[in-house]
Structure 1
């Protein structure tokens, strides 16, 4: 039985349905019967936005909701802060049912609990950058000196110190989106809602904003709900990804789950052109760290080695990973002096991989190695192993030719 403490979700979406039209409740039986979105529209004139959505969002994660146009992703994010009311279902934030908030409570909730970053920046052209960022605080009734101080702090955080008195029209698209992000952060809201926040930006600026969001998140640990239609973006920033199609939740999981185990043809179509070598890191595909030696004498090390199925092992001391040891060399040394300490044995040095290295960066080293590459963390601890075969298998769909070469090479070693 697990002793893990159960972590309660920050946000819970339970059996959420949304039907657009004059009499949505009258259409619900058809939705529950499983009629398609197109059939319901043709028969009733009502549009099904969301069907039986159940998901949890945890504190401090970047939760990405993605899908094509019409999938329901923007409809869903607008339920979090009740810009849209559901036809049926519950939205709980820290156990509070958002549907039960009265008008005043909902206003407070939107001002202090959740902040939104829009696709088209949503800046007020007649206010300068500083006033745009401080706007949420002015609505909350915060005094001017505090507003200015906080606005300037967040402008510095997003790389816009010195732009306080500029106006939106004087800024580039990327700079305007940074102002929008600073404005959302300035309210100290715990939850950020980002609806296609970077999709209007040029590719290079978009990439920079993605990097900045990930870096900021390491510092701030906000809870971020991020909407996108771009799987590369989702994989790059998301801790978990929910994929919607025609209002249905098709798959929910970590990026590696989505990429390596697509739930159906729809998800597979999304992932088939993704460069896995760039999207995946070593720790997502490494195998458990088997074959380790920790003995202090050569004889004891040989005994440990013979308990392994392999004829090699990785030698570890209190200082961490030391290198690789072959059984034949150990047998030879044991014949001379089995009682000799292991520090007198010549361990074969070996390059190591970092767990968070992109696969793209470690392909050459892994292909050249005679042994599975050790994955070692900053403390020198062996976290896992990555072989040529493992690498070939995970990259096979994207690099078919390389797979054949790697497998052929490994068989002829």
Structure 2
């Protein structure tokens, strides 16, 4: 091969290094056209074959360096303030807490901060866009192999040491798999499937999962669908769900069982001409079917989860109202939304649950602990506080008053397609640049001697 042709071979490799599986089909077409341009010699086909072979590379890790690498699921791109874990957007113990851009079919679906010691998530955050396809998918549970340190030269057993596995949840009638990002809040089938990862799951009491937590998820979904349409006529609400781990209560002597689960949302409402928000939480224990989670304000949640030395803030630096709730909308919603009766529209204090006046006979039944936790039983989360204790109620924190100013809404496409060549990439590089690159190579390397 002549020297200049060797140089162009390196040119091809440089182009290929930027390619991803997402672009294989287009490259195949380009190469076919290139072959038709001239009568190639055998040596000319070799680098093209190498190009195709090297294009089929595995996707890079979904475990990223920072929450900012997957901030499209966070309101204003700002991470929650979690005492002792995530402060000022910085993860304090990076060897323990891992941010995961939850990815399925090469599309980032939501973001999770995972606690590899407690083997439960700190929280999952997602953007609610409505439900375009209904129904719970029949899909196997998934794990995150990038959480395991498997690049050692030494032999080791085949167990997962930094996360839960599907076997950990089998044959248990007390706790089942509680979703942080519930499938019922996902936009389409692919996004629903993406929620079935064990890094999005905590052990949740069966009757709590299918009881008051289920009612809360349905109620908030109704609010999001009706009131979270912004000025761009786009349905968009930001939700963060997590839980407070227990001090020493473990499932299968391995996975921390959270003592309390929590959830909060915020969005701009075009119809109400203001930002709206609410929060809910409840004890992760068995309960009667007549129980509801009370609707609380963000301020109430912040007080509940703050520590003696640090504040908790689920939507820091935003216009989300701290002292009001969305309970005023409940009478306007359908009855099957299952919102709590007599809910308060302002900040409340300690009480976390309310019971309906109707007497209900409670039946403790075993949910299918394999894959069929009820669609209404997909709650859960993890605040990942380890052994950090929570203080009681503290003096009021300053209030960010609701505003009627319009939101700065991202008008990009709902489906976020991204390249797997870099964990920091949120959108696919231009296909035109790859095509042009390959065409130039074909013209230069295949010219007659």
- TM-score in terms of structure 2 length: 0.23
